[in-house]
Amino acid sequence: MKPEDRAHLWSTFRVAMAVLGTISVVYGLYANLALWTAGGFAVVLLVYYFSSRSSQLREAWFNHAMTTVVRNIERANHYAVQRLPVGIAVFDNDGHLQWKNRLFNEFINIEAPLGSVFDKIMPPPDNNFATLRVRDADKQIKIGDRIYSMLVRRIQTTEDEKNDTGIVIYLYDITNKERQQRRYEDERPVVAYVQFDNYSDALKGLNENDRASLVVAITKAVTCWAEEVNGYSIKYAEDLYLVGINKKGLLDTINHKFPILDKVREIKLNPRITPTISIGIACNGKNLSEMAQKAQSCLDLALGRGGDQAVVAMGDEVSFYGARGSVQAKNTRVRARIVAQAIHELMTSADKVFIMGHVNEDYDAIGAAIGVAKMARTLNKECYIVWSGQGSAMTNLVKVTKDGNPYAELVIDEATAMEHVTTGSLLVLVDHHRPMLTAAPKVLAAIRKRVIIDHHRRAEDAIEDVMLQYMEPSTSSTSEMVTEILQYFQERMEISPMEASVLYAGIVVDTKNFAVQAGERTFEAAAYLRRYGADPHAVSQLFKEDDASIILRARIITEMKKPIPGLAISVHTGSSKDDQNVSVIVAQAADELLTMNDVHVSVVLNENEDGVSISARSDGSVNVQIMMEELGGGGHQTVAGVQIKGAKADDLIPKIIEMAKEQMKESDSDEGNTAEGRKEVG
């Protein structure tokens, strides 16, 4: 018989006996039979006794079973907690250790008895108990050579719900995962394009043996660089190389500041021309096709900034390296002739021509604008020069050439220009290529056919969607570039003395009267303008100033300080943000500071209620454009600036000093300085 059947039979028997006993008691009392009554009571008592006894036995068995289950659960829970692949520790509201599992003890690698203080187990500043108590946290920490993911959760450690908050810490060992992630990142592919950017000039004048030796030397330098970082290189054109490396190799190259650029410059087979290369690199792309496109864009950006540098696109961030040497002027005018023909075709097909310089135009922007207007007028095209309305250069020009300036009527403001814009209009942007610097942003947005003529290094935020882009960082000024274009624009084109003088003024102002960035082609352009009647005396009249401007500039110069050797800094405060004359004087003061002995870099800060504007100048030993780019500005290698809204001069000066110190230190360590003078550093 089954146990459950026996239990059921026994239960039925007890009920039956209890019923019979009760009936016997009732019958005995009714019939007055004591024996029946006594016997019935005895039966009922026996049933009660055995039922109670059975209940006690079942309760005892149940309690024993429950105790065994609870003990087993606690044992299993304790074993599970101790054996979890997670280090766990509980701290009370005072930061004392209340409990920990075995793995936590192994992870922290120190002896930590109960009651130990949190700060001794996991020392600050990375781990601060007062901070961790405020909210739950999830962070990554390093203990020894292992990396852990630490989860912090607040818990209640006593019955005081309001004032008592402890924490429980969970440590996950993610060392292997992080190492695999790092290995994966290190092995990510990187695409690089390398161009021998002055190939034609470097080979010019060499015999066949030296030409072959130079090309082999460049190829060997590129190949050695690729092999040093476990990559490969392929030469697929006379002056172009494709290099494939991994991200670790790229980071090593970045940490060493692209020594390949220096090694190429050290090749001295041509005594007149130092060979240089430009590198465009892309990594962290979705696929190789996307990275190849980005690498090509970076190479174009490096070439547009003058070459001799590397531009790296890592995701959405673009970084610049190199640019140690000054940009070498190109002796060939082939590109100028091609650009002249292209502009001629674009103007011929355009309804109207608009020419626009940068905001607060200087004489270089104005001279270039008038030179381009001359081209449009030669083709009998309706043209306009869009003026920002700022600065004194345009006003001075009108005064000096009042009787013989046929271009005064072409100068219009933004609102007037918008009334004349048509769908077939052509916009020529001179002396700038960034949207934030343009004289009339609405005109820039309204005209889609655009041409850029500029001598500044290409910036990352250059104006897009242009039909023709002519940028030559090696050229002294945009006026020089326009002068060369005029010579090839149309046969037998004559320019007037006024036009020649304005272009001459543009060259003079950007070369500091032929003292800075003036190359062979600069003097050829100046000679061409002189042949057509450029008047140096009339140009000198443009630069005359009133006594207040001279006094202010003198005060800025006298308040100059030299925080480190080679660097001159001066600060001007109190001017209005709308006073454009002050910004010109500040720039002039920076120029004059550079003429002092032992000053290689001059920086003048103009602080007003709107922020700080900075004018920086260099004698070529430091690339001030790179310095200003770090602050959000730009410019040229020896002339640059930036405007920072809401800033204070005192906050910016320490950063400027550090940037100048670092770059002058790199410049002094450049071996080429002894032979070629102080070079630019990026």
DSSP 580-604: HHHHHHHHHHHHHHTTSTTEEEEEE
Mean pLDDT value across residues 57-67: 75
Per-residue b or e along 399-438, where b marks 16 or more CB atoms closer than 10 Å to that residue's CB:
ebbeeebebeebbbebeebeebbeeebbbbbbbbbbeebb
DSSP letter string, 156-224:
--SS-TTT--EEEEEEEE-HHHHHHHHHHHHT-EEEEEEEETTHHHHHTT--HHHHHHHHHHHHHHHHH
The tokens describing 85, both together, are 């692949």
CATH classification of 334-542 is 3.90.1640.10, yes or no? Answer: yes
- In the chain, CATH 3.30.450.20 covers 87-182
Pairing assessment for the beta strands 166-173 and 87-91 based on DSSP bridges: antiparallel
The structural architecture, per CATH, of the domain 188-322 is: 2-Layer Sandwich (3.30)
Per-residue b or e along 237-255, where b marks 16 or more CB atoms closer than 10 Å to that residue's CB:
eebebbbebbbbbbbebee
DSSP class of residue 327 equals P
Please give the Cα distance from 258 to 222 (Å, whole number). Answer: 11
- In the chain, CATH 3.10.310.30 covers 547-676
Given a cut of 50, is residue 182 above it in pLDDT? yes
Q: What percent of the chain has a predicted confidence (pLDDT) above 70?
A: 88
Radius of gyration over every alpha carbon of the chain, rounded to an integer in angstroms: 43
Partner residues linked to 143 by β-bridges: 146
Given a cut of 90, is residue 328 above it in pLDDT? no
Least confident of 84-88, 171-175, 305-309, 673-677: 673-677
Q: What is the pLDDT of residues 471-518, one digit of tens each?
A: 888 788 999 999 999 998 988 788 898 889 999 999 998 887 887 778
CATH fold, domain 547-676, is: Diaminopimelate Epimerase; Chain A, domain 1 (3.10.310)
CATH fold, domain 87-182, is: Beta-Lactamase (3.30.450)
How many of the other CB atoms lie within 10 Å of CB of 625? 28
Pairing assessment for the beta strands 426-430 and 561-564 based on DSSP bridges: unpaired
Least confident of 143-152, 330-339, 413-422: 330-339
Mean pLDDT value across residues 546-561: 88
Phi/psi-derived region of residue 140, left when phi > 0, alpha when psi is between -120 and 50, beta in every other case = beta
At 74 the pLDDT is 64
- In the chain, CATH 3.90.1640.10 covers 334-542
The helix or strand, by DSSP H or E, that contains position 243, with its residue range, turns out to be strand 240-246
Beta carbons of 312 and 319 less than 8 angstroms apart? yes
Integer angstrom CA distances of residue 34 from 17, 119, 267, 487, 557: 19, 86, 136, 149, 136
Given a cut of 60, is residue 454 above it in pLDDT? yes
- In the chain, CATH 3.30.70.270 covers 188-322
Least confident of 161-170, 261-270, 295-304, 568-577: 161-170
- Sorted by sequence, the CB contacts under 8 Å of residue 18 that are 6+ apart come out as 43, 44, 47, 48
This prediction has a pTM of 0.56
